[in-house]
Amino acid sequence: MSYANEFQNREMETRDPKLLIVVTKEHLEKYPEQRELLAKYYDKRADAPLDDSIRTSVKHLGYVHTPLFITNVPELGDVVIEGRQRRRAALEAGLAEVPVIFHTNDDKVNALLEASSNLARRQNTPAESAHVYQKLLQTGMSQQEIAQFVGVTPAAISYCLSVGEMPKIVHKYIEEGKLSPTAALALKKTYGKKAQKGSGKTTQYDDAEIKAALESMEEDARQAGGSKIKGDRVKQASNSKAGFAEGLTRKEWEALYEDSTTPDDYKALIGVFLNKISVATAVANESENLGSWLRKITPQPKPKKVKEPKVKGSKKDKEPVVDTKSEADLKSLFV
């Protein structure tokens, strides 16, 4: 898939960074009547602290070497689509101009430019990636097209979107390393409910219920000597019939297999479950927790019942003869 034609309208220029607009959370709150428009150009990194490496680079070099991407929005002005941190660094350094690439305002182009920049960062959390994927979906792209553009599987896109819909406390637990990816998906299966039509979401949650469950499971994990809530903890903490291993779809398992944050030993067992690697390979590479995890993710065959043939009795059958031989007589048969 090629997007070359999408970027034919670009021009290189220089602009005064003071005249460039970066949409922040403050704008969303201050102008609620324009929230829908502003949200199209908002990225939460605009509210993040300035990266020290960018600040140092711009300050020592005395210029911004990577162009910012901007577009003109009649209702707002010249808006920064990609390069929000570089623009802030330029303001701090007192630069009079920065290099920019100007392109006509197009939702798809804007979303692709933002995605190419944001998804290149390795420290992206699933929730942050979900924000970018959601913008791409709103332009009409399918999950398959997004997966090809980003270079991941459609299942990985689905996983991030699922996490993105969850309450902020779930995002916090994931970012702090307290919640494993498997547990996050188990939360969806256990506590998620089908969202109302028109809400823009597929799943909705009770924030208070999720918070109470996470705090309880975190305490249980701490007492057990662990630091991370895992999927089996979610299953144990709920009375719901929603299962864990048996409750996940193949796409969700694929997402966990692709996720770089999934522990290697668990990934090896998922590989067995998905028939990507053999049990022997899994045992050779990762032996920790092998027995318990293998039982969780590998379906165990149920023993088959052997049916005894039915023998129809005859009305003429005689009554069984009772053997009156003594124990000594029986033993003599084996001599």
The pLDDT of residue 333 is above 50: no
Q: Are 77 and 23 in contact (CB under 8 A)?
A: no
* Assigned domain for 290 exists: yes
In-domain check, residue 184: no
Note whether residue 25 is domain-resident.
yes
Q: Mean pLDDT check: name the lowest of 107-121, 271-285, 320-334.
A: 320-334
Token pair in block for residue 138: 């709103």
What per-residue confidence (pLDDT) applies to 47? 87
- For residue 114, being part of any structural domain is answered with yes
Residue 177 included in any domain? no
**Domain termination site, one of 79, 94, 118:** 118
| Predicted pLDDT at 225 | 72
Domain that holds residue 270: 263-298
Instruction: Tell me the average pLDDT of the chain.
Output: 75
The H or E element spanning position 102 is strand 98-102
**Res 154 pLDDT > 70:** yes
51 pLDDT band, cuts 50/70/90, is confident
Could you give the CA distance from residue 261 to residue 267 in angstroms, rounded to a whole number?
A: 10
CATH number at residue 108: 3.90.1530.10
Domain boundary at 67, 96, 118, which? 118
From 118, 144, 169, the end of a domain falls on: 118
Given the DSSP bridges, would you call strands 77-82 and 98-102 parallel, antiparallel or unpaired?
A: unpaired
What total of structural domains would you count in the chain?
2
The pLDDT value recorded for residue 87 is 93
Residue 271 within a domain: yes
Nearest residue to 88 (alpha-carbon basis) of 129, 126, 43, 128: 43
pLDDT digits (tens, 9 = 90+) for 84-95: 999 999 999 999
| Residue 130 placed within a domain | no
Does 273 fall in a domain? yes
Predicted confidence (pLDDT) at residue 11 exceeds the cutoff of 60: yes
Section 221-250 average pLDDT: 57
